[in-house]
Amino acid sequence: MTYQNQITTMQGLIAGNGAPWNAIDAESAARMKLQNRFQSGLDIARYTAKIMRDDMAAYDADPAAYTQSLGCWHGFIGQQKMISIKKHFGTTKGRYLYLSGWMIAALRSEFGPLPDQSMHEKTSVPALIEELYTFLRQADARELGGMFRELDKAREAGDEVEAKRLEHAIDNYETHVVPIIADIDAGFGNAEATYLLAKKMIEAGACAIQIENQVSDEKQCGHQDGKVTVPHEDFLAKIRAIRYAFLELGVDDGVIVARTDSLGAGLTKQIAFTKEPGDLGDQYNAFLDCDEVAANELGNGDVLISREGKLLRPKRLPSNLYQFSAGTGEDRCVLDCITSLQNGADLLWIETEKPHIGQIGGMVDRIREVIPNAKLVYNNSPSFNWTLNFRQQVYDAWEADGKDVSAFERDRLMSVDYDSTELAAEADERIRTFQKDAAAQAGIFHHLITLPTYHTAALSTDNLAKRYFGEEGMLGYVKQVQRREIREGIACVKHQNMAGSDIGDDHKEYFAGEAALKAAGEDNTMNQFEAA
């Protein structure tokens, strides 16, 4: 509905209610409605699910159409990210938000900072989704409010061309609201617990939920040791639980991201249930590290399985966990991915130990032999030492090609001594094109960085503290923060406006007319930045 149609609709509504509504201004009401396009989290989930589905189809047609996101741990951080994207690129297309369980554990738990082991309150996940969308919706209201004020100025000046341009811009306004891929960890319990939490996350606005195949009460960060996986049927029950949650709430296009940690997980808590040779449980158990035993070799409390007429004793640790055979991680990953896609998942996430396109692509090729349109969400993780990894990849490639690498020590390639070398330059170029190359060669539809704003907050705060509390004093803030905000066009330099003071002024005027006591008068110090 166009801006003018919104006004006309409001005029009819007001007229239909007679004298009691005569004090309501139709255009003001239309503006407020446009500023609050999304009435609920479910509205957002349905809207953003369609965006993701369209983007997935576009990627299937052309791998250059991959998507990206950054992990955000606060609504303000997510809001500023999307404002920045619109400022620099003119559109939010292909850019999402990622909600990291790691950052919730580290930054949003009432217990204080925690490791990524699902010890944080499960309700903090939907709470952050709701917070992120609250800030994104406020970004819409703020930007549209500015456009409405510009429209009023154009009308007052009698500039009909500018007024029409602004009305057209309002009619075609692109929201800051984008898909969130939200981390449900390992589901925080059994399938019923997963379903209940998924509902809360969807109701808060999540259109995409990522779940991993670790044991809930043994969950570890994908880049830590000690990961314990579950049999396929346990994981598939949770995938089904999430799908039921999406369908129950009317988000029929909801997206499920199935993450496998099998590549780095050497343990399982359970021996899978199996009925016949070759079924899914039997395939899972085939990866167990077992010793063949005879009946007279049994020890007290031994657990045995029978396979192909042989009696096998799985290797069990004092923790009562069972060990997989060494070198089976990739095969387990491939089977995890295929079964997940065959049982309701839409996208895959393979947590790897390094960002290596060949390794990722090799697994995707195997998966695509069974599921031709399989595609990944991939963690461009800050847990990787990107500089060292890619310098070593270049070193290994040069060595394989017979190029002289005697000037380099492979284990020391992180050193600043190599920063100006041809090897370092080639490594940096590979890092620069990693996302594009991996999208084309390794089936990666969505690239994300899980924890970037955790690191940027630490780095910027360290820089400010060093300067402000040192000899630079106030110049440390002015030169490194405010002056750069002004010159780089960072909207937050007008922090009162960013926090909603102009939106509040608009409402005061709507509600009280000339009697409104507005904050944006001539004594507002934010006016010092009008010439910025």
| Residues contacting 5, CB < 8 A, separation 6+ | none
Three-state secondary-structure class, residue 449: strand
Beta sheet of 267-268, edge-to-edge order: 228-229, 267-268, 322-323
> Which DSSP string corresponds to 362-407?
HHHHHHHTTSTT--EEEE--TTS-HHHHHHHHHHHHHHHTT---TT
Please state whether beta strands 347-350 and 255-260 pair in parallel, antiparallel, or not at all (unpaired). parallel
Separation of alpha carbons 54 and 93, rounded Å? 11
**Does residue 247 sit in helix, strand or coil?**
helix
How would DSSP label each residue in 150-184?
A: HHHHHHHTT-HHHHHHHHHHHHTPPPS---EEEE-
Residue 473, CB-side half-sphere exposure with 13 Å CA sphere: 1
Residue 482 CA, distance from chain mean position: 29
**Residue carrying structure tokens 């919706």:** 137
Distance CA 532, CA 526 (A): 11
Question: What counts of helices (H) and strands (E) characterise the chain?
Answer: 20, 14
Distance separating the N- and C-terminal Cα atoms of the chain: 35
Three-state DSSP at 231 gives coil
Burial of 205: CB neighbours in 10 Å, binned 0-12, 13-18, 19+: buried
Going 241 to 246 to 249 to 252, the CA torsion angle's sign is negative
Catalytic residues: 221
Nearest to 344 by CA among 257, 232, 272, 280: 257
Which one-letter amino acid corresponds to residue 444?
Answer: I
Q: For residue 235, give the nearest of 345, 319, 369, 125 by alpha carbon.
A: 345
DSSP letter string over 15-53? HHT-GGGTTS-HHHHHHHHHHT---SHHHHHHHHHHHHH
Two tokens at 291?
A: 């010793």
- In SS3 terms, 474-499 reads as HHHHHHHHHHHHHHHCCHHHCHHHHC
